[in-house]
Amino acid sequence: MSAKAPLPQNDNVAHALAGAGGGILSMVLTYPLITLSTRAQVESKKAESNLTEAIQKIIAREGFSGLYSGINSALFGISLTTVEAMIAGAIAGSATVIITNPIWVVNTRVTTRRQEPDLEAAGGDGGRRGKGPTTLGTLMSLLKKEGPRALFAGVVPALVLVINPILQYTLFEQMKNAVERKRKMTPTIAFVLGALGKLFATSVTYPYITVKSQMHVAAHNEKKEGMSQALRRVIRDEGYAGLYKGIGPKVTQSVLTAAFLFAFKDVLYEQTVRLRMARTKA
């Protein structure tokens, strides 16, 4: 039996489809961790709970679907995030942040909506679980009550977060160069270095993620805060630990997303190339 011919590695269409498919699959698998992290960032200190308790509370109050609140808006944002990765650089990242900020404002509102007292009461003892607003409903309500400016709440800390991938890839390249001077680079080593780079970048920038989430859910009748004011308030009320609420699920989600993305992309790329080659021969 003859060996299979090697697949071409320069099929840009296949790379694009595999990357998009891998991104969607990895987002679906890890989205509950985004929900847990986002809610931890915006909940009061008194309401804090550990990871297991948080999962149990969400499932008990909202059902399993509560772990996927707002996923449709998150999936819509994947294509824009991909553009950022492809274009790269601070300018492209900043443009992407400005364009996608409204999406993530709505996503954060939908993700955290179940914690509002009136919605919890709707799902009280003996009653049905209250069904929260849809992404479109949340968007229309936000525009009606708070105006278009509310869609850009938290855009300043979001712009600061543009340095996250820059830090990640800079550290990755430095570690990669150090490794290649001593041994051959392998996919496993590349993944470990990528995970370390992501861990470092997330640890440095996470306080801005927390502040951004809190600014996204600030009510229209609350006093609007700037980024520095929000940082000082969190430190004053909760200490420096308050800036890192929910970092466990976020770091886990980031690392798992990278792992699933690499795994799915290779498989999807191979299958896409084979399908395209079969169609060409037909």
Residue 134, domain extent: 12-281
Q: Is residue 262 part of a domain?
A: yes
The pLDDT tens digits along the chain (282 residues) read 444 444 444 444 444 555 566 667 767 777 787 777 777 766 655 555 677 778 788 888 888 777 877 776 666 655 544 444 445 456 666 777 778 778 878 887 777 765 555 444 444 444 445 556 677 888 888 888 878 877 877 777 777 777 777 787 778 778 888 888 898 877 677 777 877 888 888 888 888 888 877 776 765 556 667 778 888 888 898 888 888 888 888 888 877 776 666 566 666 666 776 776 677 665
Rounded (10°) CA dihedral 268, 274, 280, 282:
-120
Q: Is residue 3 part of a domain?
A: no
Q: Is residue 1 part of a domain?
A: no
What tokens does 215 get?
């600014």
Q: Is residue 263 part of a domain?
A: yes
The pLDDT of residue 80 is 45
Q: Is residue 5 part of a domain?
A: no
The pLDDT of residue 118 is 45
- Count Cα atoms within 13 angstroms, Cβ side, for 68: 10
Domain tally, the chain: 1
Instruction: Specify the CATH number for the domain of residue 57.
Output: 1.50.40.10
The pLDDT of residue 126 is 47
Question: Which is nearest to 172 in space by CA: 185, 162, 182?
Answer: 185
The pLDDT of residue 132 is 62
Q: Is residue 275 part of a domain?
A: yes
Q: Is residue 7 part of a domain?
A: no
Q: How far apart are the first and last CA of the chain?
A: 23
Q: Is residue 4 part of a domain?
A: no
The pLDDT of residue 218 is 67
